[in-house]
Structure 1
Amino acid sequence: MFNLLEIKNKMKKAVILFNLGGPDKLESVEPFLFNLFNDPEILSIPSIFRYPLAKFISKRRAPIAKNIYKEIGNKSPILELTQKQAVSLENSLSTKGDYKCFVVMRCWHPRASEVIKKVREFNPEEIILLPLYPQFSAATSGSSINEWNDLCKKENFNVKTKIICCYPTENNFLESHVSLIKKTLNNVEDKNFKLLFSAHGLPEIKIKKGDPYQWQVEESVKSIMFRLKDQNLDHVISYQSRVGPLKWIGPSTDTEIIKYSKEKKGIVIVPVAFVSEHSETLVELDIEYKKLAEENGCSFYKRVPALGIDKYFIKGLGELVLQQETRGKFISSVICPNKYTKCPCLGL
């Protein structure tokens, strides 16, 4: 007879990796942008107004965005890179049970409506939702989780589901950052530099309405810097990728780069909230911000790689998948303060 552990290990489990996605060719840029801005978590207005506004914004921004993607081969690399993460994670889980990883993109293919058919065919006894956003925001992880749950209700697909809400302070996630930062700093001889942790920005109103994202980014950086305390590093957190007229959280990455470049410091930039290379790292950080730094007198500019399939990061994702739920059906490496009402774990 099987014992309980053997039975559990033979259960089929589907791991759904969520990411934003990106256009697979230049012709996909405008519809990708429309999907992004038509998300109620991005534009929080009634759908009767959101749809035409999303059409207008996507049409207006498409030429600018196309020029960005022309810099990196006319498409986003995020799908291929996320698929590599899925393969690495599935391999790491192969000795732990019957796990199969699926990739779902929020704003381009493969969409949840396509992937749910494959998950049904796999016929799992449990589903684990794993956003590839270490820090929770209603606009990223929240949007993907809600879309999946709504689709399951609509299609009457009822399977036990565990949700990895966030992991901004997960040990292996932190160790992955620390390892990659140290590798980058090994090639830096001039010690007069600023270590700049750059994360994707959000409108300030989102934080005021209870989104925990900024607090979680700060917790990530605090935990990373604790592990680097013997390095005596001067650091700052900043936010990039601002669009639109709303006031965004700050300071902005471009402002900080100009400030420290004018002081003739070097810049070592860490994409602390991005786990894959894509337009925000390969173009915004590597091309646009590097040029900005050099134009303002920066002594040198280096960028730490995104986590990708770093062994520590994949190990951390595997441990999150195996972890037992601690707050309802959720798993989280932190407990958000009560004022962050958008955190799905609060009140459980």
Structure 2
Amino acid sequence: MSDASAQPAHAPADHPNVASGKTGVLLANLGTPDHYSYWPMRRYLSEFLSDRRVIDYSPWKWQPLLQLIILSKRPFTSGAAYRSIWNEEQGESPLMTITRAQTEKLGRALHDRYGDQVMVDFCMRYGNPSTQSKVRAMAQAGCRRILFFPLYPHYAGATSATANDQFFRALMQETWQPTARVVDPYFEQPHYIEALAQSVERAYAQAEKRPEILVVSYHGMPKRYLMQGDPYHCQCQKTTRLLRERLGWDETEITTTFQSVFGPEEWLRPYTVQEVARLAREEGRKRIAVIAPAFSADCIETLEEINEEIRESFESAGGEAFTYIPCLNDDDAHIAALTEVVTDNLKGWLD
């Protein structure tokens, strides 16, 4: 196949050239502000917190509160958190740096398999690069088929679904829409579980003393979403079980928690920040490790929330050794898992 722009066969002389011949693989992650200063943070937070998949309160009640109160203060506190983890050398957040590295490695793996038939790129649900800009670029490059891959192992309305929403909105803007597929969640994919297990084994081998328990911390969501049918909670629990079984551990050596609680209503429990303190204070656990399998790349919720806030909660309650196990990021085992997921989803298109 070729991606060269040319006139279709038997077309009249004045027919415009048409690029064709590629299959696009478009990775999608949550997003990142362009900078940690006030206005870039405000733009990013406004887009994120205006998403009805994220905050489903009535807009006529929520938007005045968001625009007049929350966004007058939140950009300062969030900006300070981003500044503490910012990749100053490249002028971007770690999520951007890591997602780009993942895309490059996955692109090389798929090129080895499919040659020039595949075009691999990434977009962000919020901020830049936008989903629409990348869908447009793929269509203009001749991608008549696009595999859309939200980089969330577990399905949730506030992550996978809103990424898909934005992808289909982008397709609505195309005169000639590419054929599209969306990747299913991969929370139980064997290569993904293996990559998680290997990361735990490496961290435990490097620890001065073995952690007494592994806290598997997932991003939280309001409990009512579970009651409304969102499968996220069940998928998270299954990932923990599969990880425990792969490691060959007893149930007392691993526990599931949820972080990033926002707003007044009850979220999925137990809350990570409270549970690590309880483990130290009530159970006398002095050494713990924390891993965050729901995040495909380290970001503000892991580098700042887990490795700073949650660590502080544990140590303030009497904990002594806190081990944060990084996300899988662009680890070779993770790229192998992602490659397997993509390859499986390209069947029938490219074999």
Could you tell me how far apart the structure 2 residues matched to 1:290 and 1:266 are? Answer: 11
Could you tell me how far apart the structure 2 residues matched to 1:191 and 1:113 are? Answer: 47
* Structure 2 counterpart of 1:254, one-letter code: V
Q: 1:42 aligned to 2:54? A: yes
Deviation at 1:298, TM superposition (A): 0.8
Q: Give the TM-score normalised by structure 1.
A: 0.86
Q: Once superposed, which parts of structure 1, at least 4 consecutive aligned residues long, lie more than 6 Å away? A: none
Partner of 2:78: 65
Q: 1:213 aligned to 2:219? A: no
Could you tell me how far apart the structure 2 residues matched to 1:87 and 1:26 are? Answer: 25
Check the 8 A contact 1:17/1:130 in 2, yes or no.
yes
Aligned residue pairs, count:
318
Change (3 A) 1:324 1:108: closer
Deviation at 1:311, TM superposition (A): 1.4
Could you tell me how far apart the structure 2 residues matched to 1:93 and 1:182 are? Answer: 28
Partner SS for 1:309 = coil
Partner of 2:6: none
Check the 8 A contact 1:194/1:265 in 2, yes or no.
no
* Structure 1 counterpart of 2:106, one-letter code: L
Check the 8 A contact 1:37/1:43 in 2, yes or no.
yes
Deviation at 1:161, TM superposition (A): 1.2
Partner SS for 2:255 = strand
Which one of the candidate residues 186, 199, 204 is aligned to 1:185?
A: 204
Partner of 1:291: 312
Q: CA RMSD in A?
A: 2.1
Q: 1:280 aligned to 2:297? A: no
Partner of 2:24: 14
Which one of the candidate residues 89, 96, 121 is aligned to 1:102?
A: 121
Once the two structures are superposed, residues 249-269 of structure 1 have per-residue CA deviations (whole angstroms, 9 ceiling, x without a partner) of 110001111011221431100
Once the two structures are superposed, residues 9-66 of structure 1 have per-residue CA deviations (whole angstroms, 9 ceiling, x without a partner) of x951111111111112123111111111111101224555554444243333222211
Which one of the candidate residues 331, 334, 337 is aligned to 1:310?
A: 331
The sequence identity of aligned pairs, in percent, is: 24
Partner SS for 1:107 = strand
Partner SS for 1:145 = helix
Deviation at 1:95, TM superposition (A): 2.2
- Determine which structure has more spread, i.e. the larger CA radius of gyration: 2
Could you tell me how far apart the structure 1 residues matched to 2:251 and 2:231 are? Answer: 29
Deviation at 1:299, TM superposition (A): 2.6
Could you tell me how far apart the structure 1 residues matched to 2:200 and 2:285 are? Answer: 21
Deviation at 1:188, TM superposition (A): 2.8
Partner of 1:92: 109
Deviation at 1:70, TM superposition (A): 2.1
Deviation at 1:189, TM superposition (A): 4.6
Partner SS for 1:269 = strand
Deviation at 1:214, TM superposition (A): 0.9
Could you tell me how far apart the structure 1 residues matched to 2:229 and 2:346 are? Answer: 23
Could you tell me how far apart the structure 2 residues matched to 1:136 and 1:230 are? Answer: 26
* Structure 2 counterpart of 1:282, one-letter code: L
Change (3 A) 1:177 1:268: same
Superposition map of 1:1-348 within 5 A: 11-27=21-37, 28-56=40-68, 57-73=70-86, 76-97=93-114, 98-191=117-210, 193-229=212-248, 234-262=253-281, 263-324=284-345
Once the two structures are superposed, residues 242-293 of structure 1 have per-residue CA deviations (whole angstroms, 9 ceiling, x without a partner) of 1111211110001111011221431100111111111111111111222222
* Structure 2 counterpart of 1:79, one-letter code: M
Could you tell me how far apart the structure 1 residues matched to 2:340 and 2:297 are? Answer: 19
Change (3 A) 1:96 1:11: farther
Could you tell me how far apart the structure 1 residues matched to 2:292 and 2:164 are? Answer: 23
Once the two structures are superposed, residues 187-227 of structure 1 have per-residue CA deviations (whole angstroms, 9 ceiling, x without a partner) of 23534611100011001111111111111111111111110
* Structure 2 counterpart of 1:38, one-letter code: S
Q: Give the TM-score normalised by structure 2.
A: 0.85
Partner SS for 1:167 = coil
Deviation at 1:116, TM superposition (A): 2.2
Once the two structures are superposed, residues 75-117 of structure 1 have per-residue CA deviations (whole angstroms, 9 ceiling, x without a partner) of 5221121011000100000122221112111111111122222
Once the two structures are superposed, residues 102-139 of structure 1 have per-residue CA deviations (whole angstroms, 9 ceiling, x without a partner) of 21111111111222221122111321011111001111
Could you tell me how far apart the structure 2 residues matched to 1:233 and 1:241 are? Answer: 24
